[in-house]
Structure 1
Amino acid sequence: MKILFTGGGTGGHILPLIAVAREVRRVQGTNNIRFAYLGPKDNFSRILLSQEGIEVQTILAGKLRRYLNATSILRNIVDILFMFPVGLLQSFGKVFTFSPDLIVSKGGYGALAPAIAGWIMQVPVFLHESDASPGLANKIAGKFATRIFTSFENTENFPKKKMTVIGNPIRKEVLSGSKQEAKRIFKLQGGKPVILISGGSQGAQKINDTLLNILNKTLKEFEIIHQTGEKNFKQVKAEAKVVIEKDREIYYHAVPFLKERELRHTYAAAEIIVNRAGSGSIFEIAALGKPSIIIPITNSAQNHQIKNAYAYEKTGACIVLEEANLTPNFFLEKLRYFISHKKDTDKMKAAALAFSKPEAANVLARLIIEYLKG
């Protein structure tokens, strides 16, 4: 049984594939299963996938940029006329060599060439779409995919007869953390509500800047674990040191990136979660039953984060705060709201759990195995 994964190369594409691979192994066992991944070169993906025993192979990948200026137009021409055709030729060679029984595509610009190559070579393609509004690559791949699985009920632009709603595959391991272990890892002080503030796997400058503006004031009432993003970590730490009063420094815990072991315990300790509107983050937060503030990226492709955020808010599980309204004091008032309105917070927790689909990875794994066994 050989399964070829493909995806765009960000955490939002890679982590669900890891969750599915783990569940396939749990259900089927490890004998006679071989996984490989084919996508654009990316160290983050390579490290995570290799740790799971998934072979990583890379191709050139062309990306269509929707924002138009002289630089983006030139890069689009290069990507469309050179990068994508070369990546497609590479995909034919690598799909032929690996000879998979099934391709599982998570979407993203790096997944289109492998999916097309597989389709032409008559390899069945299972497509998973994380977002409420699919990107261009998945819209194209959806036309020839064998099966399409979605996270949200009313996902746009796919033929309904191929579509099954299963939720977004998440790693079960992040749902079983320990508050005590979080206390040990971060030296949490206790006595104040713990907030996890994150801008996703790459961090978010806007969220970081907003927090820094009110950090000292916020630490008077809350203890904060802050995932800054690798590239912002040193700057955020330096600025935080300037604005925080000495006696409040012990309540602020900045990290560049939360690895799985740390994330699971952080989730357990956090009473409130502030995050971007990536589908993976939303479905993890929902499965934990945590109240949250969701801050969508304004300029995401197809406005998918804004659509994700409002689809989730519609259930009553979160507050959406768009970047245009993300002023420091307004942000602080929203954090205070969770503490002062316990009944509303309890309703959010219940709504989050009702929305969640923690077994999505297992469901998809079983459907994959069932299909391959015929």
Structure 2
Amino acid sequence: MKILFTGGGTAGHIFPIIAIIREIKKGYPYGDFEFFYLGPRDKFAKEIFSREGVVVRTILAGKLRRYFSFKNIIDILKLPIGILQAFYYVFVISPDLIFSKGGYGSIPAVISGWFLRAPIFLHESDIIPGLANRVASKVALEIFISFSVKKTEYFPAKKMLSVGSPIRREILNGSKNEAKKIFNLTGEKSVILILGGSQGAQRINDKLLVILPEILKDFELIHQTGRKNFVQLKKESEVVITQDLKKYYHPIDFLDEKQLSYAYTVADLIISRAGAGTIFEIGAVGKPSILVPLPESAQNHQVKNAYAFA
């Protein structure tokens, strides 16, 4: 059986697909499955999928921004090219089904799959679906959702099936002792884990720098800064933190799967954005949290996610 996954834009689209693939392999160890991924060029996604034995094919995909930008003009031109590329790959692969996780990277594959009469299934993590899944919902056979049918907006109720959000089991198996070694924790204070999503959160980072000397007096911090922000933030933190407090601050650009499992296990409190993937991971590890929704999130979905989770 050939399954073609599509999605893309952020890690929030990628990690649930990884979780699904792993569960299929565990549930059907002798099943004759072939897994493919079709989406925008992304070094991070390609590396992760390759480890799972997924065949990756890349296409052009244009992001439709909800504000004026000259990039919109360029990205609109990418869409028809991406659809033609996707049409070729879907035709050659001839999948038994297409599973879309949403994001701008999924639109070419879904449109091509519809033309070629491939069965299409969606998963929507957020209470308010993004534009890509709104478009795809018109041609999908079934729409899997993370929250309840009553709370999830836009989709027709008869197509929705509430299943929760797929998470990787591996992030639930962390060790406190290993966490102390990996992050060089002192064990002298309660630990706060700060997550800004896979791309970091500049405003959370900026606010943290203001209060960092005070917060480190009472807590030890593991801080996922985002790869783009790491070097600058580390330099700025070294200026504002006194020497005796530096041992309590542990910035890291991005937490890989194993590091994340350890961070979740050792954390006493988690401060995070309100993307659905992270929310469900926090729920699964059973840790108290403070959610800071991204104000510019599409249709204000992070705010609604946070209220539903609370």
* TM-score between the two structures when normalised by the length of structure 2: 0.97
What is the distance in 2 between the residues matched to 1:21 and 1:299?
Answer: 31
Residue 158 of structure 2 corresponds to which residue in structure 1? Answer: 161
Q: Percent identity?
A: 59
- How much does 1:77 deviate? 3.2
> Aligned pair in 2 of structure 1 residues 111, 245: CA closer, same or farther (>3 Å)?
same
- How much does 1:255 deviate? 0.4
- How much does 1:198 deviate? 1.3
Matched AA of 1:5:
F
Deviations 1:238-259 (CA, angstroms, capped at 9, x unpaired): 1111111111111111100000
What is the distance in 2 between the residues matched to 1:240 and 1:269?
Answer: 23
Deviations 1:127-179 (CA, angstroms, capped at 9, x unpaired): 00011100111011001101100011111111111100111100010011111
**Worse-matched range after superposition: 260-269 or 295-304:** 295-304
Deviations 1:86-122 (CA, angstroms, capped at 9, x unpaired): 1111111000111111111000111011011112211
Q: Is 1:67 matched with 2:85?
A: no
Q: What secondary structure does 1:230 align onto? A: coil
Matched AA of 1:156:
E
Q: Which residues in structure 2 correspond to 1:1-374 (within 5 Å)?
A: 1-29=1-29, 31-68=31-68, 72=69, 74-80=70-76, 82-153=77-148, 154-313=151-310
Residue 345 of structure 1 corresponds to which residue in structure 2? Answer: none
What is the distance in 2 between the residues matched to 1:103 and 1:30?
Answer: 21
* Poorly superposed stretches of 4+, deviation over 3 Å: none
- How much does 1:78 deviate? 3.3
Q: What secondary structure does 2:111 align onto? A: helix
Counterpart contact for 1:3–1:34, Cα < 8 Å: yes
Q: What secondary structure does 2:295 align onto? A: coil
Deviations 1:4-40 (CA, angstroms, capped at 9, x unpaired): 0000231000000000000010011155211010001
> Aligned pair in 2 of structure 1 residues 25, 194: CA closer, same or farther (>3 Å)?
same
- How much does 1:222 deviate? 0.2
What is the distance in 2 between the residues matched to 1:75 and 1:191?
Answer: 49
Deviations 1:322-347 (CA, angstroms, capped at 9, x unpaired): xxxxxxxxxxxxxxxxxxxxxxxxxx
Structure 1 portions without partners, runs of 5+: 314-374
Across the two proteins, how many residue pairs are aligned to each other?
A: 308
What is the distance in 1 between the residues matched to 2:239 and 2:270?
Answer: 25
Counterpart contact for 1:103–1:126, Cα < 8 Å: yes
Counterpart contact for 1:104–1:125, Cα < 8 Å: yes
Structure 2 portions without partners, runs of 5+: none
What is the distance in 1 between the residues matched to 2:199 and 2:71?
Answer: 23
Matched AA of 1:25:
K
- How much does 1:50 deviate? 1.1
What is the distance in 1 between the residues matched to 2:230 and 2:100?
Answer: 32
What is the distance in 1 between the residues matched to 2:3 and 2:230?
Answer: 37
Residue 333 of structure 1 corresponds to which residue in structure 2? Answer: none
- How much does 1:191 deviate? 2.4
What is the distance in 2 between the residues matched to 1:210 and 1:99?
Answer: 50
What is the distance in 2 between the residues matched to 1:101 and 1:31?
Answer: 14
What is the distance in 1 between the residues matched to 2:299 and 2:114?
Answer: 25
Matched AA of 1:279:
A
Q: What secondary structure does 1:287 align onto? A: helix
Matched AA of 1:287:
A
More helix by share: 1
Q: What secondary structure does 1:177 align onto? A: coil
What is the distance in 2 between the residues matched to 1:259 and 1:240?
Answer: 22
Counterpart contact for 1:9–1:45, Cα < 8 Å: no
What is the distance in 2 between the residues matched to 1:149 and 1:232?
Answer: 34
Residue 349 of structure 1 corresponds to which residue in structure 2? Answer: none
- How much does 1:200 deviate? 0.7
Question: For the aligned residues, what is the CA RMSD?
Answer: 1.0
